[in-house]
Structure 1
Amino acid sequence: MHATCVPEQACREARKRLEEQGISVKAFALQHNLHPSTVYAVLTGQKKCLRGEAHRAAVLLGIKPGPEN
C-alpha cells in the first residue's frame, strides 16, 4: 500500500499531461530544478507530497493546488 495523500487518478492525469506534451519525467524534473526520483515517486504515489520538494513537484505537476496569493 502506498503512503500517498494524493488521489491515484490525479497522478495518472499528470503523467498523461506530460506524455501529451512530449515531456519526459526526467526532463520535467530538470526543467523545474527537481530531482527526477522525487518526481517519479510523486507520480507513482510513493510520496505523501506534504512538504518540501515532493510537495513542490505535486504543485508543478498540477496534482495539488499551489499556495494562494
Structure 2
Amino acid sequence: MSRPKKALTPEQVKQRLRMQGTTTTQWAEARGYTRNEVYRVLNGQAKAHYGKAHDIAVALGMKLPDDQPTSPEEPRNPQKRAAA
C-alpha cells in the first residue's frame, strides 16, 4: 500500500521552482494564473480553502487534491484529531 503524498510547504515549493530554473511568474503564466494570485498563495495571504487560490495551492503541491484519501492516522478534520 502506498503512502499518501504529503503537501509541500511554501519554502519547499519556492526551492523546487528555483531548482527547476523557473520563476514564479513563468510558472503562473504557463498555467493561466497571474503572478499576484500565486504570490498570495505562497505568502499565506490567500488561505486557499476554495476557488482559484485552492486550485493554485493544489497545482503547486501545497495542498492535496480533494479526491486523495488521507490515512486514518491523519484525519483532515482538526476536531477529530483532538478527539483521537
Q: Same fold (TM over 0.5)?
A: yes
Higher relative contact order (CA 8 A, sep 6+): 1
CA radius of gyration, larger in: 2
Cα distance in 1, alignment partners of residues 24 and 30 from structure 2: 10
Q: Partner of 2:32: helix, strand, or coil? A: coil
Partner of 2:23: 24
Identity %: 33
Structure 1 moving runs of 4+ over 3 Å: none
Number of aligned residue pairs: give it: 61
TM-score w.r.t. structure 1 length?
A: 0.80
TM-score w.r.t. structure 2 length?
A: 0.67
Superposition RMSD on alpha carbons, in Å? Answer: 1.5
Q: Structure 2: 5+ residue runs without aligned partners?
A: 1-7, 69-84
Partner of 1:12: 11
